Structure 1
């Protein structure tokens, strides 16, 4: 496939600042920042985690077919795309759910906004050693992601599965220190979400984000236990497109969201990448933004 208008950038954490500065002539800033967004002179800078997934190529082609010039910027860690968006090096990102964005906004005193929903993924417990929860032994080793939001959600999954007990029943801010060891069947440690698939053979089970199921050679059918996307309590885990307050009403970005939500080839690719676990969400931006504000308020209250 010839790409004559877009490029995919893969940035490591160490090279992030310098590499983005070099690309400042794109949509995020630089000499062409005043040009209309989405033109060849000022392509939209979209930050994602895992641009190697085939559906991003499909999406890129669909966006360009509508006359929007797009650069996909691939990040290696969840911690990178929001600061890049805040600093003006991106115009939009798509890698996180509402809960993650709320946590970032509160921790960073930022005001990033939701402009559209994508999917909600159940978060699941997987194992290559055991075929059922019952086979996980007392004292078994289980890994959860080490980022704040996914760690809390992963711990709640383990508690619902009957493998651990959390202080006060657990909540969206739970961490490893909240695990009551004497009341838990397994011991839990944390690792970067992207590194967990490679460590799965060494432990009895792991909470694996859907972004990395393919890396582990797994599909949704391999899950031992997962939370329920249909539960109203899962609403903050809807994945989203995010941008800055200044760009929240940008028509080009809104069109990009609509393409993602309506293109059947893109949706098929997302579903394939997710191992059949993705649940596409049809909800308004207003509902999403209300959930973001409510979640931010809950986080602030919990920290007081």
Structure 2
């Protein structure tokens, strides 16, 4: 089979691409998925990471046409997938997807795992958690899942105390201010990095630490991705329930997981701190079902 072309496009180009194509799946065509006529539409956050270019080449070498759509906001790729603008996305962990499914009444599903990434606390003013003064302001992402995870990191670091010890569903409202050393502000994940000049420290998602000229090694605190409790934070490829068994999408997962140069690039981008996984899809789905049931019961 001849190699197909692949390209990275921005999220703003998606609408124009759809208007130019006939009705159908993410690629807007009745042609077989992954062909020139109907390239796979893969949504990611942070397509500028070098390993995505390596991944494109590996996909192309297998004769699959792919467009990598780069989003800057975590809240965009799932709706784009649900609405048929994408065929698959890869940017989120299980808890994030569970929250989306429950809130949107959707049934997106995992079709493969990538890695567990540590979430870090960064500061351009202080070299350690101990140096942060009492009463200082610390920022966390405002999306439900990363907010809770960030708050747990702050608690582990001794900066705050959470009501009832905290959980994967904690919010800023659960911070016991009287028992905490710092105050906490929730900001859009995309601007926690740029907030560093104005706050003592900030929880910054890995996709955005480069915005502050930081690396994962600069974190002054982070969680432990090897802890069993981190399982729901496994990052995944996700698609619609209708496409869960698509062979081309399954091949994309295999290429990601089994191309050494891609895996090395993922580790390099995470400063060596990521834990790569090839978790069985049924285990990913079981975890998703469990987390969704917990959210729905709250």
Q: TM-score range by the shorter chain?
A: over 0.9
Partner of 1:28: 26
For residues 52 and 215 of structure 1, the distance between their equivalents in structure 2, rounded to whole angstroms, comes to 12
User: Counterpart of 1:264?
Assistant: 260
Equivalent positions of 1:115-134 (< 5 A) are: 115-134=111-130
Quote the Cα distance in structure 2 between the aligned partners of 1:20 and 1:81: 16
1:190: Cα distance to partner?
1.4
Hey, what does 1:7 align to over in structure 2?
7
Q: Secondary structure of the equivalent of 2:44?
A: strand
Q: CA deviation at 1:212?
A: 1.6
For the residues of structure 1 that align with 2:8 and 2:197, how far apart are their CA atoms?
32
Other structure's SS at 2:58 match: helix
Q: Deviations along 1:153-185, whole A, 9 cap, x unmatched?
A: 101111111111112111122111111111110
Aligned position for 1:249: 245
User: Tell me, which stretches of 5 or more residues in structure 1 are unaligned?
Assistant: none
C-alpha distance in 2 between matches for 1:257 and 1:142: 37
Distance 1:23 1:208 in 2: 37
CA contact (8 A) 2:226 2:275 kept: no
| Aligned-pair CA distance for 1:29 | 4.9
Q: CA deviation at 1:23?
A: 5.7
- What do residues 221-255 of structure 1 show as CA deviations (whole Å, max 9, x unaligned)? 22211111111111000000000111101111111
Aligned to 1:218: 214
Corresponding residue SS for 2:211 = helix
Which stretches of structure 1, 4 residues or longer, exceed 4 Å deviation after superposition? 23-27
Inter-CA distance 56–29: structure 2 relative to 1 (3 Å threshold): closer
Per the normalisation by structure 2, the TM-score is 0.94
Distance 1:177 1:20 in 2: 42
Distance 1:29 1:259, change over 3 A: closer
How many residue pairs get aligned? The number is: 295
Q: Which moved more, 1:215-224 or 1:105-114?
A: 215-224
RMSD, matched Cα: 1.8
Partner of 2:283: 287
Q: 1:27, 1:38 within 8 Å by CA — same for their partners in 2?
A: no
TM-score by length of 1: 0.92
Deviates more, 1:238-247 or 1:213-222: 213-222
SS of residue matched to 2:195: helix
User: Could you tell me how far 1:145 is from its partner in structure 2?
Assistant: 0.5
- Give the deviation of 1:277 after TM superposition: 1.9
Q: Distance in 1 between matches of 2:210 and 2:275?
A: 17
- Structure 2 gap segments, 5+ residues each: none
1:39 aligns with 2:45: no
